[in-house]
Structure 1
Amino acid sequence: MLKPPFDLKKARILVTNDDGIHAPGLKILEKIAKSLSPDVWVVAPESEHSGASHSLTLRRPLQVNRISTRKFAVSGTPSDCTLIAVNHIINGRRPDIVLSGVNRGANLGEDVLYSGTVAAAMEGAMLGIPAIAFSQVRIKDKLHWETAAAFAPQVIRKLVSLPWPKDMLMSVNFPPVPPKDVTGIEVGRQGRRVNHVEVVHARDPFEREVIWIGDFPTDEPEHPETDLGIVLTRAVSVTPLHFDLTHNAMLKRMEGLFPAPRAGKAGKKPRKTDGLPK
């Protein structure tokens, strides 16, 4: 749990992303982190892993390459990077906060479930470290990186002034406008789009049929008081997230749905497994 006062000047900050070690958004976030604290570590994938979600590399060994002092590239996923940074690369004191991004594109609504940027921050939260994921919303290929650079320091300072509960992370999205056109900073829940992601049928240069998983056709939200709706008003959206996916209302409704275990089976030991996620 993050307990204020949180002194950023004395904080050890881990910076990561899903766009790769050479991504412009990572350079921006590294610069922001170094403006807040002198103790900044950068551990990011050696190549882009957009849409990797919370995947871990389990079937092959990973390589860690030192780019410079306190800066490393990992041949794995965003989640791998946070996990390896905390448990292997950063010796001694653990990071006090994880900053992930700045992602090249939005992580709004359903994006959160697919996002490697959010997953890298979520891995930090799972390790008991406060974490924030940052994303710069774009329109086509137009990216206002200066908006993320202008507002991220203020957002970080405000967020760490509050106590955070355990197992929680923050998702921040910057609108696709220059800083002067930003209307404010608003807090809202995760939303959902009216239209789901597109699946596009096409043909390759050899006239073979292929299928592309495209993008969301619009960012029209089902409800305006959400991260999607906030960004449409040209404001910075801030959303607290947690990784307990239990639907509590349905859990309560299901009480008594299944019969209680018969006598003698309640203490039955679970079958042993290999310990790997299935």
Structure 2
Amino acid sequence: MKNKKPLILVTNDDGITAPGIRALISVMATIGDIIVVAPDKPQSAMGHAITINNTLYLDKISKENDTIIEYTCSGTPVDCVKLAVNEILKRKPDLCVSGINHGSNSSINVIYSGTMSAAVEAGIEGIPAIGFSLLDFDWNADFEPIKSFVKKIALETLENKLPEGVILNVNFPKLKEKDIKGIKICRQAKAYYSQKFDKRQTPSGRDYYWLTGDFVNQDKGEDTDEWALENGYISVVPVQYDLTAHHTIQQLNTWNLNE
């Protein structure tokens, strides 16, 4: 039993055909047995959305003799994980990996990210999970320089496990492998989007809006994911789905709420 291959669930938010997930599948296939459940179309910035008012479809796209079993799901990244756990997998996987996302999921991006929400959902299910992202939005982004690091982080996670309720948010700078300085364990940088809506009109005269804006990093700390990425490091941020502001409970207990 000790030599049994780990079972790895692979998902993403860019869709089953995205080069990022194909790169992730190729790496994970060198580590364990793979089950892929991914959206049938791009689902970026879906956050932790789930499908409750529409039907969900799950289609097996691999052949019976394929070594990697793949499914597409009509729903969100979180739907993919839920269906995998409840309808496909015969046992709980040893690891869930999500990505590799085309674009950053560092700092505040983590709360909007479908990539990370899929990993978080796996964490809720008690599965060690990692979200991987590359700071390159190009559909034809080159994932070769980061494959060895993806494998290293996955193997270390399998070996050392993760504390209950903790998920890893891993972001890679867009660099050649030889130019990546290493891996840094970081905190999430304090940042936000300065957003505005570009108001336009359809040919029929109806107003519509296009979201635009700029990323604003307010955090000058050298222990953040943004600093690491800007300085040539891979950032690894442990995140949790318990959103309780524990440090505020004592303060709130001083309020006269029951008088």
Deviations 1:162-200 (A, max 9, x none): 24211111010010111121111111011122x524324
Q: Offset at 1:144? A: 3.4
Q: Offset at 1:140? A: 7.0
Report the RMSD for the aligned CA atoms in angstroms: 2.3
- What SS class does the counterpart of residue 46 from structure 2 fall into? coil
Which of 56, 59, 77 aligns to 2:50? It is: 56
Q: Offset at 1:221? A: 4.1
After superposition, where does 1:248-259 map in structure 2 within 5 Å?
248-259=246-257
Mapped partners of 1:183, 1:139: distance in 2: 22
Mapped partners of 1:159, 1:66: distance in 2: 28
Task: Report the number of matched residues.
Answer: 252
Contact 1:102 1:135 in 2 (8 A): yes
Q: Give yes or no for the alignment of 1:170 onto 2:168.
A: yes
Which of 212, 226, 229 aligns to 2:227? It is: 229
Paired position in structure 1 for 2:17: 22
Q: Offset at 1:138? A: 1.8
Contact 1:137 1:143 in 2 (8 A): no
Contact 2:198 2:212 in 1 (8 A): no
Q: Offset at 1:256? A: 3.8
Paired position in structure 2 for 1:272: none
Q: Offset at 1:150? A: 3.0
Paired position in structure 2 for 1:72: 71
Paired position in structure 1 for 2:193: 196
TM-score computed with the length of structure 2 as normaliser? 0.89
Look up the equivalent residue of 2:62 and give its one-letter code. S
Mapped partners of 1:248, 1:97: distance in 2: 28
Q: Residues 101 and 251 (structure 1 numbering): CA distance in 2 closer, same or farther, change over 3 Å?
A: same
After superposition, where does 1:143-182 map in structure 2 within 5 Å?
143-182=141-180
Fraction of identical pairs, as percent: 33
Paired position in structure 2 for 1:45: 39
In our comparison, the structure showing a higher alpha carbon Rg is 1
Q: Offset at 1:209? A: 4.7
Paired position in structure 2 for 1:36: 31
Q: Residues 40 and 201 (structure 1 numbering): CA distance in 2 closer, same or farther, change over 3 Å?
A: same
Q: Offset at 1:81? A: 0.2
User: Deviating runs (4+, > 6 A) in structure 1?
Assistant: 139-142
TM-score computed with the length of structure 1 as normaliser? 0.83
Mapped partners of 1:117, 1:12: distance in 2: 20
Mapped partners of 1:95, 1:8: distance in 2: 16
Q: Residues 43 and 30 (structure 1 numbering): CA distance in 2 closer, same or farther, change over 3 Å?
A: same
Q: Residues 167 and 256 (structure 1 numbering): CA distance in 2 closer, same or farther, change over 3 Å?
A: same
Mapped partners of 1:211, 1:259: distance in 2: 42
More moved, 141-150 vs 178-187: 141-150
Deviations 1:255-274 (A, max 9, x none): 1424559xxxxxxxxxxxxx
Q: Which runs of 5+ in 1 are unaligned?
A: 1-6, 262-278
